[in-house]
Amino acid sequence: MDLYTLVTSTLCTLVLPVLLLVTAIKLWDLYCYSRRDSSCQCPLPPGTMGLPFFGETVQMVLQRRKFLQMKRRKYGYIYKTHLFGTPTVRVMGADYVRQILLGEHKLVSVQWPASVRTILGGECLSNLHDSEHKHMKKVIMQAFSREALANYVPIMEEEMRNAIRLWVQKDSSVLVYPAVKRLMFRIAMRLLLGFEPEQMDPAHEQPLVEAFEEMIRNLFSLPIDVPFSGFYKGLRARNVIHAKIEENLKQKLEKEPNDSHKDALQLLIDHSRKAGEPVNMQALKESATELLSGGHGTTASAATSLITYLGLHKEVVQKVREELDSMDLLSSNPEENKPLTLEILHKLRYTSCVLKETLRLSPPVPGGFRVALKTFVLDGYQIPKGWNVIYSIADTHDVAEIFTNKDEFNPDRFMTPFPENSSRFSFIPFGGGLRSCVGKEFAKVLLKTFVVELCRNCDWELLNGPPTMKTNPIVYPVDDLPTRFKPFPSTDSSM
């Protein structure tokens, strides 16, 4: 082979593919730019659109926090990208997020990525709009009324004490994140879907927990239903969950409705019956899956973060115990601890601040999805009609000016009211506006109960120190947080 042929072959083999890739990216950028609204004089936000079709989805999924931090440093609080097959503008900061959340039905409407809509289903609350959403939310909110929450507290307390007792009795360390997920799953099954304890055999419960993990892990994926893809795995896991929920639904449908306290799933069944329509089994399965997913995934993340921060800050645990003692909730014999009530939980001011500070630093859900109903302008940039808009909860907390020493875990910062001129959108762990989390009061009661039961029943030590956190799509510790628990009060002074 002569030199000319060798050079030509090398150019074709190495250079030509690179040139084709560069050309494809340039054409992709031009295509994405053409999606702007030419009738609006304002420019698109800064940013990049990634690779053809894939956009920056793969980078975001693999790098998540590192990717998002790099974008924020480079482009600021508003930037464009291309995620999950759609041109997207990502927004953070209290003032900008406020305009998005208060612009529901006027500027934006909820629209989750296609993968989320398909896996969860079109009949669940997250994917409903306008009057349908308002009506369904009103039905479900009955399961989170003050009366309902008061009835939930004893069951929460019972399940938590049983779990903590097992953690304390275990000689080896406990992997906190999986253990807490199982605990929160049991509580959600009992309170939201009406499962009885005898229906939750651990041998059958674990596969269902694993199916939820698989589904949630693949919620945000490219909507390509081929074997071994994330979307494919998410759909198969969803089918396993639906089959189990359908068994419970059939049992509920065979029973006569009664006037006693009802779980969320029973309320949805009763609503269908009152409307005089045939029971839509698929809609009920989708709603139940959404309730169970939201009722245990995010609370497991937050509860794990609570164990983390309290384990790293023993002085905060001591202050929680002082508050409990001042209300006669801390006995020298844990078996004699006074039962909790909703009224007692509402009076635990410092404990509430511990929860708020944990949610500030580690909100379980990093943000929410919207779609622009019309082209509008935000800080001088156009957001074209039809583009996705992601508002960031985690980044908004990070940049909020009302918080000093932002990286410090300091519950006392919430003991005094925010300045009057500060934006209430500086702290949005449950979102805001018309689409704020429907179960936020349930989550607050559940997590406050968890803090109380932890602090008055055990001490604990994080064996690996501060964990590395990952988001996929819920925040969790990479090492599952191995921890050793000991009873409290304890004669062992080493803790």
Strands of 384-448, DSSP E: 388-392
> Cα(198)–Cα(190) distance, rounded to whole angstroms?
10
Q: How many CB atoms lie within 10 A of CB 126?
A: 21
Element (H, E) at 21: helix 16-34
Confidence category of residue 413, pLDDT binned at 50, 70, 90:
very high
Tell which residue, 359, 366, 398, has the closest CA to residue 475. Answer: 366
What share of the chain in percent tops pLDDT 70?
A: 88
Mean pLDDT for 432-459 is: 93
- Token pair in block for residue 54: 């894939």
* β-pair partners for 86: 83
Place of tokens 């698109």: 44
Q: pLDDT tens, 8-61?
A: 666 566 666 666 666 666 666 666 766 788 899 999 999 998 887 778 888 887
Res. 79 pLDDT band, cuts 50 70 90: very high
Is residue 397 within 8 A of residue 363, CB to CB? The reply is yes
Residues in contact with 10: Cβ distance below 8 Å, sequence separation at least 6, in sequence order: none
7 pLDDT higher than 80: no
User: 249-275 burial, b if ≥16 CB within 10 A, otherwise e?
Assistant: beebeeeeeeeeebbbbbbbbebbeee
Cβ–Cβ < 8 Å for 464, 449: no
CB 149 within 8 A of CB 342: yes
Asked if residue 489 has a cis previous peptide bond (ω within 30° of 0), the answer is yes
> Residue 12 has what pLDDT?
65
> Is a pLDDT exceeding 90 seen at residue 371?
yes
Domain boundaries, the chain: 35-126+151-195+293-487
Q: Report pLDDT for 494.
A: 45
* Average pLDDT over every residue of 437-466: 94
In Å, how far from its chain's centre is CA 310? 21
Quick one: tokens of 289? Answer: 């899956």
- What phi-psi label fits residue 76: left (phi over 0), alpha (psi between -120 and 50 degrees) or beta? left
What pLDDT is recorded for position 249?
83
Q: What pLDDT does residue 140 have? A: 85
Cβ neighbors of 60 (< 8 A, separation 6 or more) are 67, 68, 81, 83
What count of other Cβ atoms lies within 10 Å of the Cβ of residue 127?
A: 19
Reported as half-sphere exposure (CB side, CA atoms, 13 A), residue 321 has a value of: 18
- Prior bond to 473 cis, omega within 30? yes
Average pLDDT over residues 409-435: 87
Residue 480 tokens read as 């599952």
Q: How far apart are CA 75 and CA 88, in angstroms?
A: 14
Whole-number pLDDT of residue 245 = 85
Contact 174, 486 (CB under 8 A): no
Per-residue confidence at 234, pLDDT binned at 50, 70, 90? very high
Question: For the segment 92-146, what is each residue's pLDDT rounded down to a tens digit?
Answer: 999 999 999 999 889 999 888 888 889 988 888 888 887 888 888 888 888 888 9
| CATH architecture, range 35-126+151-195+293-487 | Orthogonal Bundle (1.10)
Q: What global pTM score does this model have?
A: 0.88
495 — pLDDT class (breaks 50, 70, 90): very low
3-state secondary structure of 121: coil
pLDDT of residue 492: 53
Lowest mean pLDDT, pick from 19-33, 218-232, 430-444 = 19-33
What's the average model confidence in pLDDT over 184-204? Answer: 80
List Cβ neighbours of 190 (8 Å cut-off, separation of 6 or more): 155, 159, 196, 197, 200
Calculate the alpha carbon distances from 433 to 106, 262, 291 in Å: 12, 27, 20
Q: With pLDDT > 90 as the criterion, what percentage of the chain qualifies?
A: 49
Over the stretch 298-355, which tens digit does the pLDDT of each residue have?
Answer: 999 999 999 999 999 999 999 999 999 999 998 877 777 889 999 999 999 999 999 9
**Residue 418: band (very low, low, confident or very high) from pLDDT cuts 50, 70, 90:** confident
Give Cβ neighbours of residue 309 (< 8 Å, ≥ 6 apart): 316, 354, 357, 358, 361, 362, 409
Return d(Cα 48, Cα 58) in angstroms, integer. Answer: 14
**What is the structure's pLDDT at 203?**
67
Q: What is the DSSP string of 41-57?
A: -SPPPSB---BTTTBTH
**Average pLDDT of the chain to the nearest whole number:** 87
Average pLDDT over residues 272-282: 75
Q: How far is CA 311 from CA 161, 304, 458, 489, in A?
A: 18, 10, 11, 16
